[in-house]
Structure 1
Amino acid sequence: MKIGYFGPAGTFTEEAASQREGELVPYSTIPEVFEAVHSGEVDQGVVPIENSIEGSVGVTLDLLAHQYLLKIKGEIILPISHNLLINPDAELEDIEVVYSHYQPLSQCRLFLEKMGVRTQATRSTAAAAGMIKDNKWAGAIGTRRAAQLYGLKIAAEDIQDHENNMTRFVVIEQEDHAPTGKDKTSVVLCLSQDRPGGLYQILGEFAGEDINLTKIESRPSKEKLGSYIFFVDMEGHHKDLKIMKVINRVRSKVGYIKILGSYPQEGDD
């Protein structure tokens, strides 16, 4: 089993992917992970989809909705603890600029403002760690593993603005998961433009079958200004009878609906 992930080594996505059994293969971007799974270069891919502080990862949602027919086969929820990494010869007061992926920079905004440093976004947390290993005046926000990989020291731990910082990752594959009895289903749908109260009616269909929605989020459809698609997560498997009934009824009331996958709910083992 080969598992592609949004790398390089030393990222939180690698930590999430390491929970799967198989050979880990890093890719530089999220689209490259999708393409590797699509082409069969790897069997599965692991990519971030949502953070409890900063919200959804737009590129992952867009690739699922618009560009690939891949399915979500699993989810991994990881507690995120950010650390400030610096050169072994540096001290905290030496740091003038901090590098990291834009998400950690946002999640540690208050800490960085208190430091009074400049910030610079990078492709990943691991890439940031690699950039500063020979720079006494720069720091990086990254993982403990990144510190080990690049010979850095941890100058400050748990620097995120909020304690309950969690990131949700999804496992993508050609097919989704068989029913387990404790599942979640993700769909994306587009409302018909000429149907007033369309979203209200759709939500009513789920409520009528007592289906719990765990997430609903809108994103631009990329067709025109003011046109949106909706991502919906619900409890249950798309092969469950009541889920099948609702989805069939919803099809007649929307422009389109696409099942992104059914998979076991994380933490319900």
Structure 2
Amino acid sequence: MGDTSDVAAKPEGSERARTRGQARVGYLGPPGTFSQQAAREYAPAAHHVALGDIAGVVAAAETGAVEEAIVPLENSTEGAVTVTTDLLVHRTELKIRREVVVPIHHCLLTEPDVALEDVEVVYSHPQAIAQCRGYLEHHLPGAEAVASLSTVSAVHDMQAAGRASAAISSRRAAEVLGASVRASGIEDIPGNRTRFVVLGREDHQPTERDKTSICFDFSADGPGTLHGVLSELADRRINMHKIESRPAKSSLGQYVFLIDMEGHREDPVVAEALESIRARASSFKILGSYPQASDPAP
């Protein structure tokens, strides 16, 4: 399970538990992932629990095995992490209570005795492979890219491959697992960042700088249907940070729309807009209100 503790969580509010260092925060492991980095930045005094996949991280928070779950939601280069998005839309009732933005710097790792010209396969998480595609095409054009469960799992896969291999992972993973860093900063686009969200049973109380996330769909398509929802925000001068869509999974051509907007669901103007959107939609869900994260330096 990674760097966990046997101390049982107490049934107190997660905000107070985290402050006192008693909360358990689940993340996508194993230790050394960017998810662990996000968990440490969010709650450095908490017990960080490594779990095998994103669905398992969410399930741990649902069952109470951890008080909170931190999961990747979107990357500035590759967009939405669809596994997380679909869990929020279709499966879990957990709420977004915080967000953490982490700069992502990838390294190319090998075993110490492997020559780069001999590398036949490169392991990493699919998002990391996509973020470094240009580097791979230029420097390792003959190598096969193979998906791993995480960037740290990629190092384990590389070490167990039995042939000349490399992994895209972090410098921290190289230190932990004894791999050699052959190149650093191999992401194709400078300023690469991943936005993580913290999930819990309740979202965050209002601050003076909040964001609210919602999702909704329509049972019938028609001209201006989505425009009508957007007008509820525009008419009230509510700034929309993001809009995207995902398949509704009910039938071909049906989509769920997701919006991030400025403000807290308890703000009177935002609350009024949310009720108007709810009235227009066939299904509607508030994913959470939470403080806006500051954007860290690259």
TM-score bin (small chain): over 0.9
How far 1:20 sits from its partner (Å)?
Answer: 2.5
How far 1:48 sits from its partner (Å)?
Answer: 0.4
Q: Give distance in 1, aligned partners of 2:295 and 2:178.
A: 38
* Residues 87 and 136, structure 1, Cα contact 8 Å, conserved in 2: no
User: What residue is the counterpart of 2:10 in the other structure?
Assistant: none
* Residues 120 and 163, structure 2, Cα contact 8 Å, conserved in 1: no
Q: Give distance in 2, aligned partners of 1:20 and 1:55.
A: 22
User: What residue is the counterpart of 1:267 in the other structure?
Assistant: 294
CA offsets, 1:150-186, max 9 Å, x none? 1011000111111121110000000000001100000
Matched, 1:155 2:179: no
Task: Determine which of 7, 10, 15 is the counterpart of 2:37.
Answer: 15
User: What residue is the counterpart of 1:196 in the other structure?
Assistant: 223
RMSD: 1.4
Structure 1 unaligned regions, length at least 5: none
Matches within 5 A, 1:1-269: 1-21=23-43, 22-114=46-138, 115-116=140-141, 117-133=143-159, 137-267=164-294
Q: Give distance in 1, aligned partners of 2:59 and 2:163.
A: 38
Identical-residue share of aligned pairs (%)? 45
How far 1:88 sits from its partner (Å)?
Answer: 1.3
Match of 1:18, SS? Answer: helix
Q: Give distance in 2, aligned partners of 1:190 and 1:205.
A: 15
* Residues 101 and 295, structure 2, Cα contact 8 Å, conserved in 1: no
Q: Give distance in 2, aligned partners of 1:18 and 1:141.
A: 21
Higher relative strand content: 1
TM-score (norm 1): 0.97
How far 1:89 sits from its partner (Å)?
Answer: 1.6
How far 1:133 sits from its partner (Å)?
Answer: 3.0
What is the number of residues matched between the two proteins? 269
How far 1:249 sits from its partner (Å)?
Answer: 1.2
Query: Residue type matched to 1:189 in 2?
Result: F
How far 1:82 sits from its partner (Å)?
Answer: 0.7
How far 1:268 sits from its partner (Å)?
Answer: 7.7
Structure 2 unaligned regions, length at least 5: 1-22
Match of 1:16, SS? Answer: helix
CA offsets, 1:34-83, max 9 Å, x none? 11000111000010000111110111111111111100000011111110
Moved over 4 A (4+): none
Shift in alpha-carbon separation, 1:268–1:28, aligned structure 2, 3 A: closer
How far 1:94 sits from its partner (Å)?
Answer: 2.6
Match of 2:155, SS? Answer: helix
How far 1:195 sits from its partner (Å)?
Answer: 4.4
Q: Identify the range of structure 1 (22-31 vs 131-140) with the bigger mean alpha-carbon deviation.
A: 131-140
How far 1:108 sits from its partner (Å)?
Answer: 0.7
